[in-house]
């Protein structure tokens, strides 16, 4: 798809204002809430919202409500997105305004990381109890086992393994298993748990879901269980998880359907209040996976949360060649 000359002018006009260009540069790093953009730019919400409206009308950014918050991200594809990428790529990385914005965004990231680290450290010992307040673990685990299939699996990778429940559930069906988590407290609990379960060949490692450093296409089962709603860039985490999936392997994601329980954001460090089916399907297929299947588990309590299980596969080599 290409742009007409008038469309190109509209795109460049929308991007060709200092604050709007700064916003595009920020959103090239991650999706952000309106108030976070205000904080980095040190501008009022009405002013930032006006800039975002113009960028959205030009097709350069996407707006998506999430409970009481509103997030923005760069438009994922198309000629307009390609043109913006060219413009941003031509800017000097040492540009003073963008460098200052990047430093302020880093401060926002650091604050988020500190808050999250304190939360997980504070609640590590009660983690399974806290989880049980929102979802029937037995139903979710049964659905995950069904989605995974009987195995055996050569290599299982659990990203954001928490207390290690997915490892104790799935590692008995795997020759080797690896759990990654950023919280040392969670890793300590997970180590105790897998040891008590008598699991051999199960490794726990400090690691980042955005940059696992694992070889591409190296695991025939990858699991991301109740992790994405804590993350600033869940799409990037899905892409990294998909990168690890071997030909013929599966990625299983368990998380919440969209909801409006703001107290989870305020008290429990949830950044996103669930994920819509089309959004997740777009991320999975965009990461090179196919055969996306969905299982919805409605809550047993009146004000509970619906848990979604997404399963996607990487085609085998001969299937890729045939396609």
What b-and-e string marks burial along 95-129, b requiring 16 or more CB atoms within 10 Å of the CB? eeebeebbebbeebeeebeeebeeebeebbeebee
Q: Do residues 165 and 128 touch, judged by C-beta distance below 8 A?
A: yes
Q: Which helix (H) or strand (E) holds 222?
A: strand 219-225
* Distance between CA atoms of residues 214 and 306, nearest Å: 32
Q: What is the pLDDT of residues 119-140, one digit of tens each?
A: 666 665 565 655 555 667 788 8
- The crossing angle, in degrees rounded to 10, of helices 234-244 and 277-286 is 40
**SS3 (DSSP) at 132:** helix
Q: Give the percent of the chain with pLDDT over 90.
A: 45
- State if pTM tops 0.75: no
Any residues with CB less than 8 A from the CB of 75 and at least 6 apart, and which? 59, 60, 61, 62, 81, 84
Domains and CATH numbers, the chain: 5-91 (1.10.10.10), 127-322 (3.40.50.150)
Any residues with CB less than 8 A from the CB of 74 and at least 6 apart, and which? 24, 27, 28, 60, 61, 62, 81, 84
Lowest mean pLDDT among 99-108, 144-153, 246-255: 99-108
* Per-chain mean pLDDT for the chain: 86
């Amino acid at each position: 798809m290409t742009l007409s000359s008038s469309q190109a002018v509209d795109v460049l006009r929308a991007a060709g204002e200092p604050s709007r260009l700064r916003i595009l540069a920020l959103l090239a790093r991650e999706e952000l809430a309106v108030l976070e953009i205000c904080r980095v730019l040190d501008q009022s919400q009405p002013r930032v919202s006006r800039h975002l409206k113009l960028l959205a009308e030009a097709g350069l950014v996407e707006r998506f409500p999430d409970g009481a918050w509103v997030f923005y991200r760069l438009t994922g594809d198309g000629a307009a997105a390609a043109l913006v990428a060219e413009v941003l790529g031509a800017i000097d990385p040492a540009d003073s305004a963008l460098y200052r914005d990047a430093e302020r965004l880093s401060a926002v990231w650091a604050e988020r990381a500190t808050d999250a680290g304190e939360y997980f450290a504070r609640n590590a010992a009660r983690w399974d109890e806290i989880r049980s307040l929102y979802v029937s673990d037995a139903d979710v685990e049964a659905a995950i086992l069904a989605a995974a299939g009987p195995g055996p699996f050569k290599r299982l990778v659990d990203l954001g393994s928490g207390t290690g429940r997915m490892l104790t559930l799935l590692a008995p069906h795997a020759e080797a298993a690896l759990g990654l988590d950023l919280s040392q407290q969670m890793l300590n609990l997970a180590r105790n748990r897998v040891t008590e379960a008598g699991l051999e060949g199960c490794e726990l490692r400090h690691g980042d879901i955005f940059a696992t450093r694992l070889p591409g296409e190296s695991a025939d089962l990858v699991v991301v269980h109740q992790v994405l709603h804590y993350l600033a860039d869940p799409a990037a985490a899905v892409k990294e998880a998909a990168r690890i999936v071997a030909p013929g392997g599966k990625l299983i994601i368990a998380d919440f359907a969209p909801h409006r329980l703001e107290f989870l954001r305020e008290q429990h460090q949830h950044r996103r209040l669930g994920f819509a089916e089309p959004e997740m399907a777009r991320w999975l297929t965009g990461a090179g996976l196919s055969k996306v299947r969905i299982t919805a588990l409605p809550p047993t309590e009146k004000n509970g949360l619906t848990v979604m299980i997404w399963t996607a596969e990487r085609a085998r080599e001969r299937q890729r060649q045939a396609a």
